[in-house]
Amino acid sequence: MEHLKFDNGVLERVASLLEYDAAVPLTLTTGFFLFAFLLFGVGYVALRRRVNIRNIYVVLFSLYFYYKLSGIYVLLLVAVALSDYLIGRRVARRRERGHGTRGWVALSVTINIAILAYFKATDFFVGVVNDLYGSGTLDWESVVVPAGVSFFVFQSIAYVVDISRGVISPLSRFTDYLFLLSFFPKMFLGPLVRAKDFIPQIEARDVVVTREDFGRGVTLIAGGLVKYAIIAKALGLLFVAPAFDGELGDGGLVALMAIYGFTLQIYCDFSGYSDIAVGVALIMGFRLPDNFDAPYKSATITEFWRRWHISLSSWLRDYLYISLGGNRKGRLRTYLNLILTMFLGGLWHGVGMTFIAWGMLHGVALALHKMWLEVVPGAKRFGAEMKPVWRAVATTFTFNLVAFGWLLFTANDMAQVGDIVGRIVENFSFAEVDTLVAGSGVAMTLMAVGYAMHALPKSFDLGVQRMVTRLGFVGQWLLVVVVVWMVMQCDMMLAADSGGAAGLPMYAAF
């Protein structure tokens, strides 16, 4: 019972926990969230049939969630919501009357992109100026990028563009729009939601969670925790980071395994967190779009972008690629638009040569694949259309291309890329297998488990979901508690020293 006893400072500590602390941002995987979600659940379940109060209740909790995540920037979120809510209404009115809407759409895009540019590019720009004209020319302290700013800005642009395209009609209530932008499970890392799919769910009179929904939600949360908080975290800390830093020797096999390790790590980190978000929303009765679909099973690069970060790549397609002209302006423009889209996509991750190289690699690969489809008769877009042998060859090729892309993505600079590639080309030996097994056995096991899980067919995932659904309440409870215990053990082994529970998903940086 020791651990249930407290001294008398406990109330003050509860109070201080409720305040924003930049060092401990709130994410879905923290213990704080579990307790907050419990309190939230009481009101949510009680109010679930009173749509207006329910929505305001969710909005208030979401805003608090965002405040715990990003502090004062919660005001920025509200300001973006207000601005696009008003612009959206104005755009709809002009559309009804047959007036042009371009000016208002441009205003919304300008405001949103300006916010994004301010947070993402100012540091870079100030750095360049100071390099050119001497340090101190521009006196500027680095800004803290508000968490998830890209996500709500993108969704807000899409909302206004959709209204101007006539896809949706604007929301009449400001709080409903704020709900759309701020809904807490997806606040941090997406998936990005489309107003068209989400508005009906906000306006639904009663939230409905079926038995299957609940089972799937629990499966996603438990599986997401394993991927995000165990596989990705442990693999990164135990193997990938030290291997890239050259602490595990300069062998080629270690370097290659580090690339494959990072490839799995970034997938588990990002998709794991996404799964948790989708799962949490689902047990609340909200269906968010799937964000990942076993991306490394892709046989072509085109297929990869249909399976990786789906909500963002379809956003890029619908609002950037198509706005640039898509494939409607001739073949050359199509290729150029693909490359430009991916170049901008790369740049969005960070201003630097490695991200540009990553974007260009994917852009050029997509363009080449499009060209291949047109030139080579019988060429296929997706693996499912291919013969098994071809599919295996194509999948292997695509996987390695993507993995090399991740090397560009994660490297500190191009010199490190050269160093790693050099190690693989010049210093490769299977004799390293022994040292890998002896020195990094745990990490290698995690990698094997991770890739094996990824390789299982979709029917297996569905089978697991059905099984969890059939487990019933007690079984589901045990499952979650056991996973939480494993996560906490893993955290303690990896230690508070390296971030531990307070660590953020990798994608939080973007």
Partner 1 sequence: MKDKNYTPRMLWLTVAVVVGTIGLGFIPPFELQGMSFARVDMLSSLRAETGGDDLPVEYEADIERLEMELAAMEMEPTVEVVDTLPEPVPVRYEWIVQEEPMVKRRVPLSTEVAPADDMRVVPIEDFDTLTVTRYERFIEKLANMEDVRIAFMGDSFVEGDILTSDLRHELQSLLGGRGVGFVACDIPFATVRKSVKRTSSGWTAYSVMKPKGTPEALRDKYFISGYIAEGGSGATTRWASTDTFATLDSCSRGRVLLYSRDTSRVLVEINDTLSREFEIAGDDHVREIYVEAPIDALRVKVLEGSVVCYGASLEGGRGITVDNFSVRCNNGHAIFGTGATVNRQIDEMLGYDLVVLQYGLNIMQPGQRVFARYRDQLRDMIAYAERCFPDAAIVVLGVSDRWVKNEESGAYEPIGSVDALTSYQRAAADSTHVAFWNTSEAMAIYGGMPRFVANGWAAKDYTHINFAGGRRVAEALARALRSSLAEELSEREAEAQRVAEEAERRALEHQMLIDRNLSATTILLDTLAEDDASMVKGDE
The mark string for 172-211 relative to partner 1 (x by CB under 8 A, - otherwise) is ----------------------------------xxxxxx
Q: Does 465 bind partner 1 (CB under 8 A)?
A: no
Q: Does 489 bind partner 1 (CB under 8 A)?
A: yes
Report helix, strand or coil for 323: coil
Distance in Å, CB of 396 to partner 1, minimum: 33
Q: Of these, 25, 148, 190, 285, which contacts partner 1 (CB under 8 A)? A: 285
Euclidean distance between CA atoms 444 and 431, whole angstroms: 16
Q: Of these, 31, 100, 103, 422, which contacts partner 1 (CB under 8 A)? A: 31
Q: Does 284 bind partner 1 (CB under 8 A)?
A: yes
106-114, 359-367, 445-453, 486-494 -> range binding partner 1 (CB under 8 A): 486-494
Q: Does 238 bind partner 1 (CB under 8 A)?
A: yes
Q: Does 92 bind partner 1 (CB under 8 A)?
A: no
CB contact set of 232 (below 8 Å; sequence gap of 6+): 264, 265, 266, 268, 269, 272, 506
Tokens coding 474: 């007690």
C-alpha 356: how far from chain center: 19
Give kind and range of the element (H or E) at residue 343: helix 331-349
Q: Does 485 bind partner 1 (CB under 8 A)?
A: yes
Considering only CA atoms, which of 366, 373, 372 is closest in space to residue 343? 366
Q: Does 492 bind partner 1 (CB under 8 A)?
A: yes
Tokens coding 272: 């794991």
Q: Does 14 bind partner 1 (CB under 8 A)?
A: yes
Count CB-CB contacts under 10 A for residue 294. 17
Q: Of the two residues 397 and 485, which places its CB atom closer to partner 1 in the complex?
A: 485
Q: Does 328 bind partner 1 (CB under 8 A)?
A: no
Cβ(69)–Cβ(147) below 8 Å: yes
35-43, 68-76, 152-160, 294-302 -> range binding partner 1 (CB under 8 A): 35-43
Is 349 part of the annotated catalytic residue set?
A: yes
Tokens coding 217: 């939600």
Considering only CA atoms, which of 105, 79, 80 is closest in space to residue 91? 105
Peptide bond into 289 cis (omega under 30): no
Q: Of these, 69, 237, 288, 339, which contacts partner 1 (CB under 8 A)? A: 237
Q: Of these, 67, 214, 304, 348, which contacts partner 1 (CB under 8 A)? A: 214
Q: Does 473 bind partner 1 (CB under 8 A)?
A: yes
Euclidean distance between CA atoms 113 and 273, whole angstroms: 26
Q: Pick the catalytic residue: 349, 362, 369, 454? A: 349
70-78, 269-277, 298-306, 492-500 -> range binding partner 1 (CB under 8 A): 492-500
Q: Does 247 bind partner 1 (CB under 8 A)?
A: yes
223-231, 354-362, 415-423, 487-495 -> range binding partner 1 (CB under 8 A): 487-495
Euclidean distance between CA atoms 421 and 435, whole angstroms: 20
Q: Does 375 bind partner 1 (CB under 8 A)?
A: no
In order, the DSSP letters of 412-425 are SSHHHHHHHHHHHH
Q: Does 37 bind partner 1 (CB under 8 A)?
A: yes
496 CB burial (10 A radius; 0-12, 13-18, 19+): exposed
Distance in Å, CB of 499 to partner 1, minimum: 8
Q: Binding to partner 1 (CB under 8 A): which residues in 44-63?
A: 44-45, 48
Distance in Å, CB of 7 to partner 1, minimum: 6
Question: Which residue bears the tokens 């060209």?
Answer: 371
CA atoms within 13 A on the CB side of 253: 12
CA angle 249, 506, 214 (to 5 degrees): 125
Q: Does 425 bind partner 1 (CB under 8 A)?
A: no
Question: Which residue bears the tokens 């629990």?
Answer: 218
C-alpha 55: how far from chain center: 25
Q: Does 242 bind partner 1 (CB under 8 A)?
A: yes
Report helix, strand or coil for 135: coil
Give me the torsion for CA of 411, 414, 415, 420, rounded to 10°: 50
Q: Does 438 bind partner 1 (CB under 8 A)?
A: no
Q: Binding to partner 1 (CB under 8 A): which residues in 304-323?
A: none
Distance in Å, CB of 492 to partner 1, minimum: 5
Q: Does 113 bind partner 1 (CB under 8 A)?
A: no
Q: Of these, 7, 19, 96, 426, which contacts partner 1 (CB under 8 A)? A: 7
Q: Measured between alpha carbons, how far is residue 274 from residues 41, 228, 282 in Å?
A: 21, 9, 12
Q: Of the two residues 284 and 312, which places its CB atom closer to partner 1 in the complex?
A: 284
Tokens coding 25: 């941002």
Q: Where are the alpha helices (DSSP H) in 232-283?
A: 233-235, 241-244, 252-283
196-204, 256-264, 452-460, 484-492 -> range binding partner 1 (CB under 8 A): 484-492
Q: Does 19 bind partner 1 (CB under 8 A)?
A: no
Cβ(48)–Cβ(54) below 8 Å: yes
Q: Does 419 bind partner 1 (CB under 8 A)?
A: no
Residue numbers at the binding site for partner 1 (CB under 8 A): 2-4, 6-7, 9-10, 13-14, 17, 31-32, 34-35, 37-38, 41-42, 44-45, 48, 206-211, 213-214, 218, 237-238, 241-242, 247, 283-285, 473, 476-478, 480-481, 484-485, 488-489, 492-499
Q: Which of the residues are catalytic?
A: 349
